[in-house]
């Protein structure tokens, strides 16, 4: 058998902000239900199938603590069951249409909805964590952690940033029995010094975007130790990554794939194919699943060829074995791209057969893909590969409000816990204060505002959490402990992620 031509790492980043009890339709919990049914179910099903086939180290799965909390939450699980039932009713309604193509589309959708419900009932009754723990401990995947609520770390105060990391690590320990040694840095954002926070939290590797690595004069064809630390950075290879998904091109835009943006307004089912990138919705042709599967196989083979060629190109300029890292949002596979999980299955089986070593990020480190040292600049995977999405003019009001809020919260916690009596036990009010701050700082709100994607919802969520935080600051600072506790308990009716969150975590990081 010939030696592998190089190593490929697939990284899937799985994240949604805290949506429970914050709207249902068209924004809010609906996002969670759709992603759960159309992406998380089929991707996990694929991973379990690969596990049964004896496959190991097939991919690296990042999952944000705030999403993990919702995928384990009894309320969210029950609401997901209800959503599945509604999905079946909508599909059944469309299956009764007079037009043949709509009737066939509805029948197909109904079968898919039934299959999803059965899969959910089989695997997900106790939430995501038992499944993920089994896959992780079985060596099928590596799980990446992250800060509690997916905050944009470079803009956070050091104490908040470090506390959020520790809370996220503790959450992983409680849910899955270990603290991850790898992290998905939210938005692939980096600023010099973050590696020190990671090392302190027990994290030894993370992901940045390709241009961040290239700006430091280093190739994405290897991993690199950051500054003087032992923490390693992996970089997305955009030449490979964008073959699948980019702002202007990629496989999901193929004419035979189901169109995400066009749906039957009566039943909420997507019954047509892309047809053409410029084809108006009313002119799109009915979806043909058989032709779509032919396209899946073709595009999977093309991707394998792209990976091979990229590895050969990198290998021609390196003395070490080359590495390619491709990273995507998990929600691409199934939600945005209906056929994505099928494509993924083909790729993960074809790559090893084509002479490519497939492994996790930790596996790549174990194989010796760390080439040397790098001094990384500021960067992200957002527009412009800088921070404009999260600190630009469109979101300056949010940035300034959040920065001031952090100062107030940290000052409030410092003064509150200066009293030795308060340090003896947890405080419901102080814990909720910390929780609301972290929910306020989620990177999603600025992203949605910048992209004008449900921007009004994002501004409301950001503002609501900020107001809730200020209410607690006022009550805690006034010394009215009964009123502060009552306010916190009321807020916990909808904002209860991380029941283990202890505000005293912040104290160890205050100057």
Residues whose CB falls within 8 Å of the CB of residue 36, separated by 6 or more in sequence, listed in order: 71, 80
Q: How far is CA 186 from CA 18, 64, 273, 486, in A?
A: 15, 9, 33, 33
Long-range own/partner contacts, residues 110-116 (CB < 8 A, 24 or more apart): 113/84, 113/87, 113/88, 114/88, 116/37, 116/38, 116/41, 116/84, 116/87
- Give residue for tokens 């496959």: 55
Q: Following DSSP, what letter does each residue of 75-88 receive, concatenated?
A: HHHHHHHHHHHHHH
From 329, 386, 408, 464, the catalytic residue: 329
HEC letters along 360-401: CHHHHHHCCCEEEEECCCCECCCHHHCCHHHHCHHHHHHHHH
Burial of 279 per CB tally in 10 Å (0-12, 13-18, 19+)? middle
What tokens appear for 313 in the block?
């190109």
C-alpha of 72 from chain center: 16
Element (H, E) at 326: strand 323-329
Residue 432 CA from chain centroid, whole number: 24
- Name the residue among 66, 41, 59 with its Cα closest to residue 123: 41
Q: Tell me whether residue 329 is one of the annotated catalytic residues.
A: yes
Helix (H) or strand (E) holding 69: helix 65-71
The neighbouring-strand residues paired with 190 are 379
DSSP annotation of 337 reads B
- Look up residue 339 and give its DSSP letter: T
Q: Find out whether 191 and 212 touch, Cβ atoms under 8 Å.
A: no
CA angle 503, 73, 501 (to 5 degrees): 5
Catalytic residue among 187, 406, 471, 502: 187
**Tokens standing for residue 431:** 């814990």
Q: What are the DSSP E strand ranges found in 185-281?
A: 205-208, 223-226, 232-235
Cis peptide before 26 (omega within 30 of 0): yes
492/450 Cα distance (integer angstroms): 29
Sign of CA dihedral 22, 23, 26, 31: positive
Angle formed by the axes of helices 455-478 and 428-440, nearest 10° = 150
Active-site residue numbers?
Answer: 187, 329
């Amino acid at each position: 058998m010939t030696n592998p031509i190089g190593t490929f790492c697939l990284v899937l980043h799985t994240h949604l902000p805290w949506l429970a009890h914050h709207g249902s339709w068209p924004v809010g919990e609906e996002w969670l239900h759709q992603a759960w049914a159309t992406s998380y179910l089929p991707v996990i099903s694929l991973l379990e199938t690969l596990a049964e086939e004896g496959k190991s180290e097939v991919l690296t799965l990042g999952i944000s603590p705030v999403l993990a909390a919702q995928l384990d939450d009894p309320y969210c699980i029950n609401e997901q069951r209800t959503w599945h039932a509604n999905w079946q009713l909508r599909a059944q309604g469309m299956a009764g249409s007079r037009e043949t193509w709509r009737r066939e589309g509805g029948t197909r959708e109904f079968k898919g909805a039934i299959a999803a419900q059965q899969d959910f009932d089989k695997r997900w009754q106790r939430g995501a964590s038992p499944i993920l723990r089994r896959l992780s401990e079985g060596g099928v995947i590596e799980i990446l952690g992250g800060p509690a609520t997916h905050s944009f770390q470079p803009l956070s105060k050091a104490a908040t940033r470090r506390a959020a990391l520790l809370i996220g690590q503790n959450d992983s320990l409680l849910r899955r029995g270990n603290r991850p040694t790898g992290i998905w840095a939210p938005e692939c954002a980096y600023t010099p010094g973050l590696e020190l926070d990671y090392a302190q939290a027990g994290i030894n590797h993370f992901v940045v975007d390709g241009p961040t690595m290239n700006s430091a004069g280093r190739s994405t064809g290897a991993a690199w130790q950051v500054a003087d630390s032992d923490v390693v950075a992996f970089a997305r290879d955009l030449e490979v990554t964008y073959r699948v998904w980019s702002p202007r091109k990629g496989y999901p835009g193929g004419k035979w794939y189901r169109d995400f943006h066009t749906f039957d307004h009566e039943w909420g089912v997507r019954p047509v194919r892309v047809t053409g990138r410029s084809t108006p919705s009313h002119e799109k042709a009915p979806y043909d699943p058989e032709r779509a599967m032919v396209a899946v196989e073709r595009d999977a083979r093309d991707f394998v060829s792209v990976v091979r060629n990229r590895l050969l190109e990198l290998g021609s300029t390196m003395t070490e074995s080359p590495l390619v890292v491709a990273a995507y949002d998990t929600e691409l596979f199934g939600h945005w791209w209906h056929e994505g999980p099928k494509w993924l299955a083909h790729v993960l089986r074809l790559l090893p057969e084509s002479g490519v070593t497939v492994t996790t990020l930790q596996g790549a480190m174990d194989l010796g893909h760390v080439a040397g040292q790098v001094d990384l600049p500021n960067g992200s995977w957002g527009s412009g590969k800088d921070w404009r999405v999260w600190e630009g003019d469109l979101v300056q009001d949010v940035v300034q409000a959040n920065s001031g809020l952090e100062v107030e919260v940290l000052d409030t916690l410092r003064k509150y816990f200066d009293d030795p009596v308060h340090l003896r036990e947890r405080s419901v009010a102080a814990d909720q204060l910390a929780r609301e701050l972290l929910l306020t700082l989620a990177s999603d709100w600025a992203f949605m505002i910048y992209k004008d994607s449900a921007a009004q919802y994002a501004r409301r969520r950001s503002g609501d959490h900020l107001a809730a935080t200020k209410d607690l600051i006022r009550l805690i600072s006034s010394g009215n402990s009964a009123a502060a506790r009552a306010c916190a308990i009321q807020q916990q009716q909808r904002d209860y992620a991380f029941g283990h969150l202890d505000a005293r975590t912040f104290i160890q990081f205050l100057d």
